[in-house]
Amino acid sequence: MKTATALAIRHVAFEDLGSFAPVLRQRGFIVGYREAGLDDLEARDLMDADLVIVLGGPVGVYETAHYPFLKHELRLIAHRIKSNRPVLGICLGAQLMARTLGARVYKGRRKELSWGALSLSKEGRASPLAALARTEVLHWHGDTFDLPDGATLLASNENYANQAFAFGDTALALQFHVEVTAGGFEHWLIGHAVEIADARGVDVAMLRRQARRKAPRLEQRGPRVLSDWLDHVGL
């Protein structure tokens, strides 16, 4: 019996699989990372993996002139969607998926660096995101995207109408983070120190207090989202 493979594209070391990693290993996946800017992101193992997860990062989809690896990610995602192979995009990964599907990705009217609730659409309440009802997630982005043609909107909030969408049966895009853990969040505060310092009305102490209250519940509910989605795509 073939062992399933899950590969995650990582852009910065501290934005990793977090609470998703144990779920994948418990389900028997061989889990690995491919590093953006270092590894070949159009390699055969990524094209053919049972599951690809494109993680978050601090660059913009439209910055391909500065970060050429983004072009390779776009082609990888396009191949996965065309081949009906499961692909999950988180934050930057969601923006890359939106762009792959022809939607506009652009700077939003405000940065979201905070914990907050989602408003699930009717379709969202019937999706794996139902596990996030009454659960606040981590928002950490300045860019946003239009909903791609043919995509199903799953979640919004008061700041951005498009927070999550599904495309077909095997592609899921999450603008927010559900994989972050209480223990791992401290690395976010260090790695994003400059961004936090430049953000109006945001400070490290506030974010840490929020995480202490909200991360434990998310750490329980986030893995359920992944597990239910894996069931949905037959993995």
Enumerate the active-site residues.
91, 177, 179
For the stretch 39-61, what's the b/e string if a residue is b when 16 or more beta carbons lie within 10 angstroms of its beta carbon? bebeeeebeebbbbbbbbbbbbb
Q: How far apart are the first and last CA of the chain?
A: 14
Amino acid identity of residue 126, one-letter, is A
Chain mean position to CA 211: 18
Tokens of 182: 């209480």
In sequence order, what are the beta bridge partners of 138? 115, 177
CA distance 185 to 205: 12
Under a CB-based contact definition with an 8 Å cutoff, are residues 25 and 71 in contact? no
In sequence order, what are the beta bridge partners of 33? 8
